[in-house]
Structures are given as structure tokens and as C-alpha cells.
Amino acid sequence: MNPSRKKLRRFTLVAVPLWLLNALLANVAVKETRVRWDFTSNQRHTISSESLDMLGSARSQISVKVFLPSALPPPYSDVVRAIRTGLMTFRAESPVPFIVDIYDPMDPALTDSEKADLDTNAEAYGLKKADLQLIRADQRVGLSVHFGLVIIYESRQAIVPLIQRASQFEYAFARTLQSVLNRDFETPKIVFSQGHGEPNVVESPLKAEFASLGVIESLKIDGTPIPRDVDVLVILGPKRSFNKSEQFAIDQFLMRGKSLVALLDYRQQSTVYPNILINSLTGLESLFESYGIRIETNQTFIDRINPSPAPIKRDQNGQIIYSSHPLYPRMRSPSPEHPAVANMETLVMPMASPMTRTAVPDQSLQIDAIFEGTEHSLLANKVDRFEPEKNMAPSKTDVSGAKMVAAMTVNGILKSAHTRDDQPITKHALPGSASPVSSPFLSSSIGDSRILVASSGTRLLAAGQNGLRFFKNAVAWASIDSNLVGIRARDRLPASLVKTTAWDRMAIRIVSMAGPILILFLFGWIFTRRKVVS
Amino acid sequence: MVISAFLVMTGLYTFVLTPFFVVGKASLVSFFEFTPFLFTLFIPAITMKSIAEERSSGMIEILQTWPISDMSWVLGKFLGAYFLVSFAIVLTFIFPMCIAPFGAIDWGAIIGGYIGLFLLGAAYTALGLFASAWTSNQIIAFTLGFSLCFAFFIVGRSAVFLEGDLRFVAEFLSFEKRLSAISRGVLDTRDLVFFMTIVGVSLGLSTERLHLRRWR
């Protein structure tokens, strides 16, 4: 071989690894000194001011024990990364020492005894093993491992609820941090009512969504008094009516200064004929009327101009087919600053009924409309079919639903619905029952009660992410824990498009496809012409 | 021709083939999800002839007699191809402008998405050029370029099935994961440096390839 070629080959053999080494070094170097820019309008991917304010209230060292298995595949690896990054951000912003100890229960370097010690350590902090679903050798396998965070502040400690998505980290961590920083903070107990055909939220994956808000349990409402340690009662889409004694139990629960979130459905699809809608009442309407909210259960919001997608049916493969449906109207919030709304621009409220404010004598209540109809909203009197084509047909009896309210909140000192002229109907017994009550009758609430009523229930949760977000905000507001709602508010969906006509849509399509090509040809023409001229 | 096809396909996908108006959101998520896939075809089609054609036509022998270094030559080829890719991306600025009158767009996320596309475009162009430097056949250059781009894009998805260090490497090399972070509107120097090193290494290796050839 020619000596020059030999020399060059040797040079290339050195140069190639050098290129790779330089690249590797650059990536390692930047890992330690990274800088990030958040371009989003509300800085939604940066630690929020709410978290910073709370962190600022710390007076002594915060210690975080983190049990993070490193060898997890996606999507858990994304969560692990979000936790690591988030903790580093909190540490950088903390005015007090912020100590983070990370343990890896799946570290292959650990011996069996070290792993056992780590498990004992985690159990000592009260951390339970999380059941994860992994894919190994093309098989789905379960893995039970300690995966979570414990925050220790002064003599208090708290476990951060299991984080299942990267976006949940900040809220879950800040909420737990709040509970240890504030000595008087008590974890609220939130119960989901059962016994009237409501979906069992506590037994569903939805429970995890509420875990960061407090202790979550189910409660059968059967007319017996609601336990005193319950702070928030959530009634989601009951299919059967609450009877008098159950209404009484709820009324007396509210009189103890507690809170109620009610997401109610007044149109139910028949199980035999899904296209037929059955009107249903919950029995709570008279209760709400005495607290200042009247629900017009015979009317339904319709939006024929700007309808939202609704699950219509399933195809042969079991995939849900969506179609624009006038019974899925978009609502707008007249009070976007309300914690339950938290700047949500719109909310799809399927088959909602309008509600109005009633005159309530001698009560200083704050009643707020939180979602109302838009200029496209109509109110239909008789809606008995779940067929988009049929619901699209205009009716002479339709009236404008603009500014008509579909969700309301009541806040203040309530008077019992079972009181007339300050004389309780029942002083010692439940209505319709001869049995004495164990607790004294309360004719007005002993503290500020909170009620949130929306006339769209289970379908609201299935009509987009904003539905679930609204539900969580509502429960947070009811549990008087709304100062961190702003964190979640930043995670809202992109803004909705305003009403577009067929011409608008056609114009957007034509301009977006033909426009760039025309510009391209224009440039080509100018370029060619200049070439010819020169 | 290639740019026209790219523009038609992105426009068609974003506003016709996906239920853009049914979803009714002032966002270009579908565009930013689809374009990286389209880039795996579109960019190797642009770069395939950059060096391969010079080799097959014999022009490379003449070019290598010019008083410019191989690095400058490769850099020139890269910038030429990248200009075309950038031009195609710039022409799609009309998409957010079309939507803007009909909804409050989060311009931060859009800017992030476009920065991601420019970075990805640079990385794919460099990889395509690297593929082109290895062969005198344009078809082989295209196939090799497409395979490289697609492999880098898809490698993150294999992380689910991998264990230990291999999983770490797969996640580290994944273009898709890094792009999804940038497309949310967050630019991190780690992602920026990663894409720049991909460009640097690809161009460096292309230069070494030409260097070797010079002495054959």
C-alpha cells in the first residue's frame, strides 16, 4: 500500500472515533448545564407561581425521599424523567435546603439483602408497592415495586399519590407539599355517592385522578346520616331518584358546612333502544330550589350551528364512531376566574338542562353561573331521540339558550330545605320515618357550605379532557382547596375554533394546499426569468 | 417537484384527511405529528443526488481538484439541501396563518413545533448526505438515507421491548421523543445539542468518506 494512503487510512481510523467522542462529550456536558425555554403562552411547562408561592412559605429544610425504579420502559420512563426534572426545578427554586434522596429499587448492582433493606426503608415511610404493567419478551407482565415520593418537613411527612402521567407531577407534588408545610392542613375526605345507579368511580381508574385531592371513598346514600368526617359529597349521574329520607340526609350534611358536587343527567339513553332518550329526575331538584337553583328539567340545550363530536356507535371492530351532535353543545364561562372553571374557555356539556337562580329569602348566598349557553345555543322542549339528523331539524318551539346557565355554584350559609318559616318540618325524625335521628336537626348551616350543580353528568366526562378537568376542579373547589387549581388550569386543551362556515372551511383548505405551491411557483418563475435575463 | 408533493401532502393531511374541523381546536398537532414521518421520505429524496450524482457523473474528480477542503465541500452541499428543506418548511407558515383568524392559537407551541422541524430537517439532511456519500447510485443513496432517518425516528418506540442499557440508548437516540418535547413549546439545550451533534457527526463522517475516496 502507498505510504500516503496508509497514513490517511490511519488518520481516518482515528478521526471517526474522534467525531463520535466529541458528540458524546458535548451531550454529556450539556446534560449537567442545561437551559430550557418555555415558549407556551401561559408557561405551562414551567413550575407555576402557585408552586413557587407555596415553596416560599417553607421555613426549614424540606427532604424528599424518592423511590424511582430506573429500568422501566415507557410510559413509566417518561414519568420517572418528569419526576427527576421536576424535583431538580423545585430544588433550584427552593429558598430553604431542599434535599432529594433518590433510591433505585431495581438497581442491578444491589444485592438481595440491600434490596430487602430498601423495601423495609420504603415501607417504614409508609410507601406501598405500585403494581405496574410492563412488556417483557413480548409479553405483558406485572411488576410490584416501590415507586413514589415521600416529603418530610419538620416532624411531618406525607406520601405523594401515585403519579401515572408526567403532567400530573407538579399538582400531585405541590398538593402534598402543601399538606406538610401547613400544620393545620387536614386531608379532606371526599365520598362518591352510590346506591342510585351512579358509576363506581372509586373502583375505576378515575380514582387516581382524584387521589391527590384527599381521601377518596364510596358511600351508599340510604337515608342514614352521612358520616361527620366526610367533607365533600360527590353525586355523579344518578339513574334513580333520591327519596325523602336520602334528601334529608344530604340536606343535613350540607347544614354542617360541608360541600356537595352534583353532576346530573336528565336525559338517559334507553339500554334497549340507545336512540331513545328517557327523561329522568334525581329527586334533588326541590332541594336545590330551596338553596337558590331551579333546574328546568324538561328543556335541553341544543347547538345546531357549532355542535361537538359525540360517540354515536361502534363499528364492526369495536371502534367508537364520532359524529358532530347538536345535543353536545359547547358552553362558555361567564366567570373564567372561578376556581372550578380555571380559565377553561369552553366546556362541552352533553344534553344539559338550563337552570335559573331562584329568590331565596333571608339567605346571604353567593350564587355564580359558571357555564352558560353561547349565541348558537337553543333550548328544545322535547328531546326524546339521540339521533343527530333528527336533532338537527329545527323546531318551532325552540327558544334561544344564549346566557342560559348549565352549571352553577352556591356558597354561603344555607337554610335547611326542610324548614318552613324557621320551623323544621321534622325535629326528631326523618321525613317519612318514625325513627328518631341521632343528631340534632340543623335549620341552617353552621359554616359556609358549597354546592356545585351541573346539569350534565357522566357524558360530560366522556366529552373531552376538559370535562374531567372541570370535574376535578369542581371537587377541589368544593373541598376548599382551590389555590392549586391554577397548576391544572395551565394544562387545558388548545383553544376551540370559532364558528366556521362551509366557505371558511373550503377557503382554509384551498389556501393551505394551493397557497404554498403558488408561492413556490412564483419563486421558480422569478428565478427562471432572472436566469434568462442574465 | 418534491417540495410541491410535500406541501400538498401536509396540507391534505392536516386539513382534509384528519377531522380538523370536527375536533375544532386551534392547534397544528396533526401537522407536527405527520411532518416528521413525511420528512423521512422527503429529505432523502432531496439529498440522494447531492454527492452520489457527482460520483456517478465523474464530476467529483474535478471538484476535488478545486482549492477547497472536503469539509467545505460537504458543508456547501449540506447548506444547499438544507436551504431547500427550510424553504419547504417556511412555506407551511401559511397553515397557522390560515387558522389564526378562527381561534386563539398558542403561538409558543407553534414556534416550538417549527423549531423542532428545522432541527429535525437539519439532522435528516445531514444523514441523507452521509448516505449519499457512500454510493454512486442515487436509489441506493435514497434507500440508505430513508432507512437511517426512519431508524432514528422510530428507535424510541422499541424502548418498550428493550432492557437495561439498550433501552437507555434507544431512548437517547430517539428523534421522536426529543421532537415531541420541542413540539410542546419547550426547547431544551440537551435536545438542541443532540440534533447539532447528529448534524456534526454525519457531516464529519461524510467528509472522512470523501477524504478516503480521494486517495483511492
Interface test with B, best of A512, A520, A521, A527 (most B CBs within 10 A): A512
**Residue A156 C-beta-side C-alpha neighbours within 13 Å:** 15
**Three-class SS of residue A453?**
strand
Asked if A373 contacts A403 with a C-beta cutoff of 8 angstroms, the reply is: yes
Residue B75 in contact with partner chain A when CB distance is under 8 A: no
Of A266, A250, A232, whose CA–CA distance to A474 is shortest?
Answer: A232
Q: Contacts of residue A345 in chain B, CB cutoff 8 Å?
A: 104
Rounded to two decimals, the ipTM of the complex is 0.76
C-beta atoms surrounding A48 within 10 Å: 20
Cβ–Cβ below 8 Å for A495 and B164 = no
Task: Give the CA angle between residues A444, A447, A452 to the nearest 5°.
Answer: 85
Q: Residue A95 corresponds to which amino acid? A: P
Pairing of strands A62-67, A98-103: parallel
Which runs of E-coded beta strand occur in A174-269?
189-194, 215-220, 232-236, 259-263, 267-269
Pairing of strands A189-194, A156-160: unpaired
Q: With the C-alpha atoms ordered A288, A294, A299, A302, is the resulting torsion angle positive or negative? A: negative
Cβ–Cβ below 8 Å for B108 and A39 = yes
How many angstroms separate the CA of residue B93 from the nearest CA in chain A?
A: 9
pLDDT tens sequence for chain A (534 residues)? 565 666 666 666 777 788 888 888 888 888 777 777 888 777 777 778 778 888 888 888 898 999 988 777 777 887 888 888 788 888 878 888 888 888 888 887 888 888 888 889 888 888 888 888 777 666 777 888 888 899 999 888 888 877 877 777 888 888 888 888 877 677 788 999 999 999 998 888 888 888 878 889 999 998 889 998 898 999 999 999 999 999 999 999 998 888 999 999 998 887 778 788 888 889 999 999 988 899 999 899 998 887 888 877 777 777 777 778 888 898 988 888 788 887 777 888 999 999 998 877 656 688 889 999 988 888 988 788 888 777 777 777 788 888 899 999 998 888 888 875 444 444 444 444 444 444 677 877 777 788 999 999 888 887 777 888 889 888 888 886 656 666 665 555 566 676 677 788 888 888 888 888 888 888 888 888 877 776
Interface test with A, best of B10, B160, B173, B216 (most A CBs within 10 A): B160
Cβ–Cβ below 8 Å for B108 and A77 = no
* Rounded distance between C-alpha atoms, residue A487 and residue A342, angstroms: 9
pLDDT tens sequence for chain B (216 residues)? 778 888 888 888 888 887 777 767 777 888 888 899 899 999 999 898 888 887 777 777 777 777 778 788 889 999 999 999 999 999 899 888 888 888 778 888 888 889 999 999 999 999 999 999 888 888 999 999 999 999 988 887 777 677 777 877 888 888 888 888 788 788 888 889 999 999 999 998 888 888 776 655
What CATH number belongs to A188-489? 3.40.50
Cβ–Cβ below 8 Å for B112 and A39 = yes
Query: CB neighbours of A58 closer than 8 A, spacing ≥ 6?
Result: A94, A95, A96, A153, A181
Of A18, A79, A35, A20, whose CA–CA distance to B192 is shortest?
Answer: A35
DSSP chain B: -HHHHHHHHHHHIIIIIS-HHHHTBS--HHHHHHHHHHHHHHHHHHHTTTTHHHHHHTHHHHHTTSSS-HHHHHHHHHHHHHHHHHHHHHHTTHHHHHHGGGS---HHHHHHHHHHHHHHHHHHHHHHHHHHHT-S-HHHHHHHHHHHHHHHHHGGGGGGG--HHHHHHHHHH-HHHHHHHHHTTEEEHHHHHHHHHHHHHHHHHHHHHHHHHHT-
For A312, the grid coordinates are 354515536
**What region, left, alpha or beta, does residue A412 occupy, with left being phi > 0 and alpha being psi -120 to 50 degrees?**
left
Residues within 8 A of A (CB atoms), B 120-179 only: 156, 159-164, 167, 171-172
**Three-class SS of residue A272?**
coil
Please give the CATH topology (third level) of the domain spanning A49-160. Glutaredoxin (3.40.30)
Residue B29 in contact with partner chain A when CB distance is under 8 A: yes
DSSP B12-35: HIIIIIS-HHHHTBS--HHHHHHH
- Using alpha carbons, list the distances in angstroms from residue A405 to A16, A46, A265, A408: 69, 35, 15, 7
Residue B17 in contact with partner chain A when CB distance is under 8 A: no
Cβ–Cβ below 8 Å for B194 and A27 = yes
